[in-house]
Amino acid sequence: MFITFEGGEGSGKTTLIRLIREKLGRTFDIKTTREPGGSKVAEAIRDVLLNPKYEGVTPHAEALLFAAARAQHIDEVILPALRENRIVLCDRYIDSSLAYQGYARGLGFDFILKINRYATENMPDRTFYIDVASEVGIGRISQRKELDRLDQESKAFHHKVRQGYHEVAKMFPDRIRIVDGNRSLDDLAAEILEKIRDLL
Ligand code: T5A
């Protein structure tokens, strides 16, 4: 079972994955991972993508680097874990590229789907999109000492990301579940956990 978590900045994915792992890990063998990253090579690409010192990354190069990190991550981490019958909980995957690069950067969904076909043929079994207004999410992370290159994008960009996710959810209605993120983390974790148990 390959499950991904999506959402804008500060939507709560990382915390929710931790809470769900704690509960689900009592019964199942869980592998948690994240994008961009999850392996040594993909984490190196993550640094190029997110470190504000690389401010000149062009939109096309950005999309290709996310896809390259994904190609490495799927082969080195996700597929081996799935072959061992582990449940993979992944913080972001291809829908992030669709919402951020495809929609908010304006590269288009077709371009993102095309380059990602070279990166991976594997789509998640289920995706939980945690929906919160972009100002709420950004407000939650604004106290952090270091904001990454994408955190530092404009309000308009983050608003477009949210719109992009709603378009992506319409494209994949069987796979993507929209979860209202304006609740406590415990409530959200309980709802998602119930949905995962139904699936299992
Ligand atoms: N990206 C990624 C692309 O553009 N294309 C791609 O293909 C991919 C894969 C990744 C960046 O790369 C971009 C998207 C991102 O900009 P990242 O550092 O991994 O960068 O960024 P995020 O995934 O956005 O991680 P964040 O930590 O910023 O957000 P999370 O994980 O959604 O949120 P979390 O759990 O860390 O929570 C943030 C804070 O908010 C609080 C938490 O306690 C925490 O303090 N919080 C809540 N508080 C109250 N109620 C709730 N419901 C709360 N939810 C969270």
Residue from 92, 162, 182 whose mutation best tests the ligand 1 pocket (most atoms within 8 A of CB): 92
| Tens of each residue's pLDDT in the chain, 200 residues | 999 999 999 999 999 999 999 999 999 999 999 999 999 999 999 999 999 999 899 999 999 999 999 999 999 999 999 999 999 999 999 999 999 999 999 999 999 999 999 999 899 999 999 999 999 999 999 888 688 999 889 999 999 999 999 999 999 999 999 999 999 999 999 999 999 999 99
d(CA 61, CA 146): 23
d(CA 132, CA 135): 8
Ligand 1 centroid distance, CA of 44 (Å):
19
Alpha helices (runs of H) in the chain, residue ranges in sequence order:
13-24, 40-50, 59-73, 79-83, 94-96, 109-119, 134-141, 155-171, 185-199
In the chain, domain spans: 2-199
Q: Would you say the pTM of this structure is higher than 0.85?
A: yes
Task: Give the contacts of 18 (CB within 8 A, at least 6 positions apart).
Answer: 32
Task: Give the contacts of 34 (CB within 8 A, at least 6 positions apart).
Answer: 14, 90, 91, 92
CATH architecture group of domain 2-199:
3-Layer(aba) Sandwich (3.40)
Ligand 1 centroid distance, CA of 108 (Å):
23
Ligand 1 centroid distance, CA of 118 (Å):
26
First to last CA, the chain: 8
User: Which residue type does 7 have?
Assistant: G
Instruction: Kindly report the backbone phi and psi dihedral angles of residue 53, in degrees, each rounded to the nearest multiple of 5, phi listed first.
Output: -70, -20
Whose C-alpha lies nearest to ligand 1, atom 5?
97
